[in-house]
Amino acid sequence: MKNTNDSPLLQIKDLRHYYDKKAEVKVLDIPYFEFATSSVTGIIGENGSGKSTLLRLCAFLEKPRFGEILFKRADITPEQARKNITMLHQEPYLLKRSVKENILYGLRVRHINKELEEKMHHVLGWVNIDPDIFLKRQWFELSGGEKQRLALAARLILRPEIILLDEPTSSLDQASSQIIKEALLIAKKEWGISLIIVSHDNVWLDQISDQTVHLHKGQIIGDGRVNILTGNWTHSDNHAQFIDEDCPLISIAVDDFSQTAKHATIQPRDIKTSPCTSSDAGAFQVHQLHFNKRNTVTARLQAKKTTIWAEFAPEETVPAIGSFVSIAINKDTVNWF
C-alpha cells in the first residue's frame, strides 16, 4: 500500500517475520507498505495480530527475519534509528528520579545542553504538566495519567522524526487521553513529527489518524475498520453463508465460491442497512455512531458477540442509536481469502 508522498519516511519491503528458528510460525507477512512524512498512521487488529511486533521492527529494536525496513530509503543501524525514532510503550518506564530528571535525561545522554529549561517548559505545556508544581516531584508521586504524559513529553523533547506508540491511552481516563491526542497533533503540526499508533480505542484513533490500517494474522488486509468474518462459511444455492452461534445468519450471493476460502473482508462503506425489528432474523442493533473527518458517519452494529461496522455517506440516512437494522452485502465488494 503506497501513499501519495514521493519520498516516504519509512518503507516496509517483502517483510516476513517469524519467532521460531524453523520459520514455521509466521508473525508478519507484509509485501509492501510505507509511512509518509509528517503523517499519523493508526494500526488496529485483534490481539495476536502482530501489531506490537510491527512497532518493534519499525523502531529497529528487532531485525526482520526476511525483507527490510528502510528509513528515508536507507537501511540504518539501531544506533542511527535511536537518533530519529523513539517509542512510547503501554506501560511507560520512568527513571527513579524527579520529573525534571526524567524529562531531561534523553537530551543529556545525547549531549544536548543548550536551552534545556526552554525546551522542557515547551513540551510540558503541551502535555498539561505545570513545571512550577511538578518538576521537583518524584516518579512515585505521579498518577497513571501523569506518568504517561511525562513519558510522552520526554520523547517529544527529543524532536524525533517518528514516534511509535503502543496503546498510549489504554489505562487513561478521557481527560488524559484528550491531552495526549492534542499534544501529538501539535507536535505533528509544529515539528512535522510522524506518528505510528497501535490502539484498541478506535474512536480516539480515528480522531487523530490520517490513515488507519487493519492488521489480521500478520497481514495488512484493508484500511480502517474493515469487517472480518472468519471461518464457518458454507456454500448453498449460489450463496455463501456465515453460520456462527455468536452471529446472525449472514448470506452473500456469489457466482463462484472457493471451498478453501475461510475468511471474508468487507469495508464498512460496503455494508448497506435497512430498518427492521429486534425479532427479525439477522437483526443488528446500532450501538454507537462516530462522525469522521471526511463527513461520513461510522456505526457500530452489534448482534450477540458479533460487531459489524457500517459507514454512511453524507447523503445517506443514518439509523438512530438503539434501533435495529438488517444488513446487505454486495458480492462484488467482498474479498475472499
The CATH number linked to 232 is 2.40.50.140
- Which residue type occupies 63? K
Q: Which residues, including other chains, have CB under 8 Å from residue 149's CB and lie 6 or more apart? A: 127, 128, 129, 176, 179, 180, 183
Single out the residue of 194, 132, 134, 192 nearest to residue 162, CA to CA.
194
Q: For residue 194, give the CATH number of its domain.
A: 3.40.50.300
- For residue 308, the enclosing domain spans 227-336
Asked if residue 202 belongs to a domain, the reply is yes
Q: Virtual CA dihedral for 132, 136, 139, 145, nearest 10 degrees?
A: 0
CB–CB of 64/57 below 8 Å?
yes
136 and 168 both lie in a single domain = yes
At residue 194, the pLDDT reads 96
Q: Virtual CA dihedral for 59, 4, 270, 242, nearest 10 degrees?
A: -40
Helices then strands, counting H and E runs in the chain, come out as 8, 20
Output the pTM of the full model.
0.79
State the total domains in the chain.
Answer: 2
At residue 3, the pLDDT reads 45
301 and 245 both lie in a single domain = yes
pLDDT by residue, tens only, the chain of 337 residues: 444 445 789 999 999 999 877 767 889 999 999 999 999 999 988 888 999 999 999 999 999 999 999 999 888 888 888 889 999 998 888 999 999 999 999 999 989 989 999 999 999 999 999 999 999 999 999 999 999 999 999 999 999 999 999 999 988 999 999 999 999 999 999 999 999 999 988 778 888 998 888 898 899 887 767 888 877 777 777 777 777 776 777 888 776 656 556 778 888 999 999 999 999 888 999 998 988 767 889 998 998 878 889 999 999 999 999 999 999 988 888 888 7
Asked if residue 137 belongs to a domain, the reply is yes
Partners of residue 306 on adjacent β-strands: 303
Asked if residue 29 belongs to a domain, the reply is yes
Asked if residue 1 belongs to a domain, the reply is no
Q: What CA–CA distance (Å, rounded) separates 214 from 115?
A: 41
219 and 231 both lie in a single domain = no
At residue 314, the pLDDT reads 92
Q: What CA–CA distance (Å, rounded) separates 192 from 53?
A: 25
Asked if residue 55 belongs to a domain, the reply is yes
232 and 219 both lie in a single domain = no
59 and 189 both lie in a single domain = yes
Query: What's the length of the chain?
Result: 337
CB–CB of 164/86 below 8 Å?
yes
255 and 166 both lie in a single domain = no
